[in-house]
Amino acid sequence: MQSKYPIILIVLITLLVAAAGPASACDLTEPDDPSLDGHAFEPDPETLPTTDSSDTQTLSTTATDTSNGEFEVHILNVGQADAAVIFSPEGETMVIDSGHWTDDGGTIIEFLEKHDVDHIDHLVATHAHSDHIGGHADLIEHFEEEKNGIGAAYDSGVPTSTNTYEDYMDAVEEYDVTLYEVEEGDELPFDGLEANVFNPPTDDPEYDYDESELHYNSMTILFEHEETSFLFTGDAEYHAEERMADTYGDELEATVYHAGHHGSSTSSNDHFLEVIDTQVTTISSNYDSQFGHPDNETLDRLDAYGVNAYWTGTHGTNSFVSDGEEFTIYAQNDASTDPMELRDDDESTLDPNLEPKKVGTVSDEEFQGTTHQETLDIDNDDPETNAEHTWTLTDAANDFDGEVDSISVEYPTGTSLDDIDADDVTVLLDRDGDGSTDEISVNQDDYEGDVATFDLSGMFNTSVEGEIQVGIDGVENPSDGVSEPTITLEGDDTHMETTELAVA
């Protein structure tokens, strides 16, 4: 990883402009003979950037309510582009790609503002295409002018002649941001996580290495937090995937994989999917992508390897929060994760203003995609509502079809659950979807803090095609006013339709 200082950048930018000539505002053409060598040098650990994590506010997200010590990955819905925000267990912030140049960094800046981020420790560009670095210059300007700056920037060192790339380089120079060229074998200094780089390659004569090809040199990073891992490949395609799979094998295994090149048929090839052995993939593209992303060939391959998919086109922004053992998954829309059913949900079902809510969990061993969570109010001014609370799970378009394993109810801190037992829980299932319900017994209860969990997994038949009603008796709000209990339902059907929760 080589640090490039401003005086060098000035020379490089001058050479690029002279070689490429002026570029129009929408010119996305890559140069045939770029003047910047994509190779990097072995880093000196003493030169790696250091950041003071005390300058970065600890994240407390609206959707996940996480605390320090968790690893968070947020895949933002930026249309036909890519942008992700990562928070380390120690509170550092990394941005990987920043969306399309037409957005001017607006979506990602809004997200960071909402989460009270005032310092970006690490700004990563997987490669120089304008749908990946479109907001880099804007992020640098915004955080250097109005916040506490950028710790360091990282890219592959392979340029292009677009205005977007030149704006990015100009911003690096103007604000004196330390820029590192990254190659395989490097580890990004991300506090609390391992962040190992597997691409771009060093000069390996065994492979057809093209030092000017942006996709071949797309930065690939595997983040590891205890037993969980998340793999980013940017727009790496078949040849880059093959090189990495052949060279690194099971070192690339990942709990979650952000699909290369927006789900294009040129990425996520069979050998690569076999090697990474992932449970879940995320895909970033428009619902009506002009390139047909995600491609049906890619979806077929994902299906063949049993990979569940979260697509920004239908699921919206999706988030993964790791406690070290598994990721809890949040999405704006609880759509199907079956790769063959991704387009079954109409784009109109996605409300971009919704906060992501819990939709599942995933570990290296198991994907559980039928978790549904909703928060409701209890008002002590209306005693009738404190006697019994019933939730009805219904499908806006199609009846829910799945099996319920457990139901848990979490009340605010201070609520007493001592007097609540299985006899106070009423569960009604519409098994046939005809409106008639059967009451089933709850065979086990468990209490941990303010959470009561009722296990239904031992029941003979908990399948349901219609509604689920859950009633809890005898719980009152511990303080005056309104409190918010949260109910969570979990089951074993990984391909549930979109659902809504409402008070019965």
| pLDDT tens digits, 331-344 | 888 778 889 988 88
Burial class (CB in 10 A: 0-12, 13-18, 19+), 345: buried
- pTM (predicted TM-score): 0.68
Least Cα distance to 303 among 348, 327, 273, 283 occurs for: 273
> Which tens digit of pLDDT belongs to each residue from 392-432?
444 333 344 455 555 665 655 455 555 555 666 666 766 66
Domain that holds residue 216: 2-21+37-48+56-333+343-368
| Segments of the chain with pLDDT less than 70 | 1-68, 204-212, 346-349, 368-427, 429-433, 435, 440-504
CB 302 within 8 A of CB 268: yes
Is there a single domain that holds both residue 422 and residue 447? yes
**CA 322 → CA 226, 311, 393, 503, distances in Å?**
9, 20, 27, 31
CB 423 within 8 A of CB 500: no
How many angstroms separate the CA atoms of 460 and 80, rounded?
46
* Bridge-based pairing state of the strands 500-503 and 388-394: antiparallel
Q: Is residue 364 part of a domain?
A: yes
Q: Phi/psi at 104 (nearest 5 deg)?
A: 55, 30
Is there a single domain that holds both residue 400 and residue 270? no
Q: Is residue 26 part of a domain?
A: no
Q: Phi/psi at 392 (nearest 5 deg)?
A: -120, 125
Is there a single domain that holds both residue 97 and residue 129? yes
Q: Is residue 30 part of a domain?
A: no
Q: Is residue 251 part of a domain?
A: yes
CB 100 within 8 A of CB 38: no
Say which CATH number the domain at 203 has: 3.60.15.10
Is there a single domain that holds both residue 350 and residue 414? no
Is there a single domain that holds both residue 162 and residue 217? yes
Q: Is residue 28 part of a domain?
A: no
Is there a single domain that holds both residue 270 and residue 294? yes
Residues facing 315 on adjacent strands: none
Is there a single domain that holds both residue 218 and residue 242? yes
Is there a single domain that holds both residue 94 and residue 170? yes
Structural domains of the chain, count = 2
Residue with tokens 């619902």: 287
The predicted structure's pLDDT at residue 436: 72
427: three-class secondary structure by DSSP: strand
Is there a single domain that holds both residue 212 and residue 350? yes
Is there a single domain that holds both residue 364 and residue 382? no
Is there a single domain that holds both residue 359 and residue 457? no
Q: Is residue 31 part of a domain?
A: no
Is there a single domain that holds both residue 325 and residue 358? yes
Q: Is residue 250 part of a domain?
A: yes
Q: Is residue 322 part of a domain?
A: yes
How many angstroms separate the CA atoms of 298 and 499, rounded?
27
